[in-house]
Amino acid sequence: MKAGLVVKETDELVKQAGKKFLKWLEQKGFEVIQRRKKDFDNPPVPISPPDDTDIIFVLGGDGTFLSAARWTGRKNIPLMGIKFGDVGFLAETEEKQLYQAVERVLKGDCSIEKRMRFNVSLLRKNETVFSQMALNEAVIGKSGPSGLARIDIKIDSYHLTTYAGDGLIISTPTGSTAYSLAAGGPVVHPLMEAMLLVPICPFTLTNRPLIIHDKNIITVTLSSKSVFPLKLSVDGQKEADVYRDDIIIIEKSYPVHLVTMSGETYYDVLKTRLKWSGERI
């Protein structure tokens, strides 16, 4: 069997756990391909995991998981996240349950969820100058404190509105518990067929969060009255500047395949991560 391994390298505890886990996988007969942070910044060959990779293990937090998801590209390789730290929705398995959970996965005691992603393309003078897939969100926002970002939104060919404020978050259901939630957006079940539009500090109180169908195509442009350039950020990891005549196209793309443990639900994860009170019935 062949496994990918992505480890949060900025945390010494996680690095040591990763080294131990790597040896354990090799003892189990796995051929392990380890992806390091420097490889994401300056991709060597292979840029993506080999086609015959059976699973990718991700040790760290949500940021590490998002990097690993970007590494898979369009390939249907399942990702299993092991959470190190306090908060994280993508890495479901706790650090202390690592080996027990992986043993269960090797026995088939797990399931695979398809999590929706969308592609974010930035067009300038009819040329694509930036293109990334997002598992959590795309954020279009101000790069400084002054002025208003005025962002025109079209849903398919229909002009919806102009959002005025600090910016706009366009989120997947998976990303609804990330920046979107902090900006006042709703929590959306990750298997729903939807996208979220969540304004950041809107100037007009009637600009409220909106949930649309994931089959819609979103077109984003800057109003002539907007401060610019704005900053486009995808999953908090890839960025580009957005100028007056640029066009951003957002549309549904290839999903990520996520390993989930049998007997656990999304609501278990939600309740634990958000520290909701009350007994489980």
| 26/18 Cα distance (integer angstroms) | 12
Written as one letter, the residue type at 170 is I
Tokens of 117: 């992603």
Q: In terms of C-beta distances under 8 Å and separation of at least 24 residues, what long-range contacts does 51-55 make, across chains too?
A: 51/75, 52/2, 53/2, 53/3, 53/4, 53/77, 54/1, 54/2, 54/3, 55/3, 55/4, 55/79, 55/80, 55/105, 55/259
Residue 78's nearest CA partner among 115, 104, 107 is 115
| 252/195 Cα distance (integer angstroms) | 9
Are residues 225 and 150 in contact, defined by beta-carbon separation less than 8 angstroms?
yes
Q: In terms of C-beta distances under 8 Å and separation of at least 24 residues, what long-range contacts does 272-281 make, across chains too?
A: 273/87, 273/88, 273/89, 273/177, 274/177
235: left (phi over 0), alpha (psi -120 to 50) or beta: left
Looking at 62, 109, 245, 246, which residue is catalytic? Answer: 62
* Structural element, H or E, at residue 243: none
Is 62 considered catalytic here? yes
Are residues 55 and 80 in contact, defined by beta-carbon separation less than 8 angstroms?
yes
Looking at the DSSP bridge assignments, the partners of residue 94 are 83
User: Annotated active-site positions, please?
Assistant: 62
